[in-house]
Amino acid sequence: MNELRDILHQRHHDMAASLRHAPEFDETAAVRSVRSHRRGRAIVMGSSSLATVTVLAAGAWLLLTPGQPDVAPAITPSPSVSASPTPEASASATPSPEPVSYEGRNPGMSDGEAYYRAEHPATGEVWLDEPVAVDAPDGLQGDAAWWEVGTRAGATILAGGSFGGFIMVEVAADGEMSEVVSPFPHDPAASEGWTDLAAADTYYDSLALPATWTSADGIELDLRDHANYAYGMGTDQLNLLCDGCTELDVERVAAFGSSHAVRVVDSGSGTVTEDDGATSWAVASGGRVVAVAYALELPFGPLMPLWADPVGTQAALRAVAEYDEYGFVSNDVPVYVELQDRFCGPDLDWAALGIDEDPADWVETTLYGDLAVHRATADNPLTGPYYEGLGEYYPARVEGVSLDEYASAPAIVGAPAADGSGWWIEIRQDYSVRLGC
């Protein structure tokens, strides 16, 4: 066997040596091929292995046969794969994307566009880190407080506000003033504002907002449907959040560019007292309910209320209600408000969160046809105190109405918060101890 191996090895060496001097021999390619085969020789798979074994077997047969055979053995060739020429690299048919650019107002603005504008404003505004209190501009003296809040293209931006409205004014370097009537780029242009100044079609990209946002506690908020008034800026903002709030916890909970969603919790005594001719809501709820509100904080400080509807009653009401010229419901359908019923004060649109509710004290029901909610039973710790308070201060409202009937009306409805922190609770307004204003 060793003798046969030596013969084969010598024949292989002689053939390789003779090929080295052939005109078409490429030594560099041969070396590369040998190295490649050495790296891959441990991997022998599929048809490649079969073809290799076939060729080697044929080669061994030829080497073992002295001289040229009279008839060469028939060898079925392996299917050959013709190498396709490598296509030359060509320029990509897809052009490089142009830089994103948004111009002009866009009432149909997508959330993606809003986020981009807010994070890459192209309208030139620069907001101060802290608003600076200033005197009212000439001709705009009144009950509104004014602040310098930023600059744009050489003009000074002023903001003024009271419960009556929120005003923005630009003062050019030459002293000419114009009112920025519609500063949000997703709002349509407006031709009239709060003042007699010329209305400028100025907007600020940094105030772009996504259409909706859902808080961690399950409240879906339309960020573009905020109030048209704002609370104070700088150190005054917390003092003006609500009428009589006592223990406020204010937290930024989301960022939209340089604007923020702000969550406000009032766990104090609330605003309703016996001096208002009603039982204190905190007393009636036994301290088991806190007031929660959301506001939009603009880059330069003001807080603008956002409208919360955690139980869904306001949206469902709009499908069945008729409204008078002042926006009040005029037909005979019940209206539900948050449990404290802070309807007429200069405060945020609050929601009431019960933090110690027992699901056994609530049963399923529907409102306005198909809105699924829960109602508080007569045994719910909230029902009795509110029923008694109403009977004390507004006896005509519950005359001939039993506690069970009050509960079944339903007087108090609720829905579990999405984050499991409690129950959102509302009361039918004509059964409320506050009765709005």
Cα-based torsion angle of the residue sequence 138, 139, 145, 148 in order, rounded to the nearest 10 degrees = -40
Q: Taking the C-alpha atoms of 377, 378, 379 and 383 in order, what is their torsion angle to the nearest 10 degrees?
A: 90
Residue 215 three-state SS: coil
| 90, pLDDT greater than 80 | no
pLDDT digits (tens, 9 = 90+) for 93-137: 555 455 567 889 999 999 999 999 999 999 999 999 988 989 998
Q: Is 60 exceeded by the pLDDT of residue 29?
A: no
Please state the separation of Cα 340 from the chain's center in Å.
29
Question: Residue 125 — φ and ψ, nearest 5°?
Answer: -75, 145
Residue 338 has pLDDT above 60, yes or no: yes
CA distance 49 to 57: 12
The alpha helices in 147-290, defined as continuous H runs, are: 281-285
- How many residues are present in the chain? 437
Nearest residue to 336 (alpha-carbon basis) of 365, 359, 356, 360: 365
Pick from 185, 140, 187, 135: nearest CA to 165: 140
What's the pLDDT tens digit per position in 146-204? 899 999 999 999 998 765 578 899 999 999 999 999 999 999 998 888 889 999 999 99
pLDDT tens by residue, 219-253: 999 999 887 777 666 545 554 556 556 677 889 99
pLDDT of residue 98: 52
Q: What is the per-residue burial (b if ≥16 Cβ within 10 Å, else e) of 272-286? A: beeeeebbbbbebbe
Identify the CA nearest to 258 among candidates 128, 142, 153: 128
Q: How far apart are CA 376 and CA 398, in angstroms?
A: 17
pLDDT band (50, 70, 90) for residue 21: very low
**CA-closest candidate to residue 155, choices 133, 183, 131, 177:** 177
| Average pLDDT across the chain, whole number | 75
Inter-residue contact 267 to 249 (CB < 8 Å): yes
More confident residue, 257 or 290: 257
Q: Are 171 and 156 in contact (CB under 8 A)?
A: yes
Q: Is the pLDDT of residue 434 over 60?
A: yes
How many angstroms separate the Cα of 318 from the Cα of each of 220, 313, 321, 328, 330? 17, 9, 5, 11, 12
Res. 372 pLDDT band, cuts 50 70 90: very high
CA angle 356–358–360, rounded 5-degree value: 170
Q: How many CB atoms lie within 10 A of CB 178?
A: 19
Q: In the chain, what are the domain boundaries?
A: 111-207, 212-431
- Calpha distance 232→174 (Å, rounded): 28
pLDDT tier, 302 (very low <50, low <70, confident <90, very high otherwise): confident
The greatest distance separating any two alpha carbons of the chain, rounded to the nearest whole angstrom, comes to 128
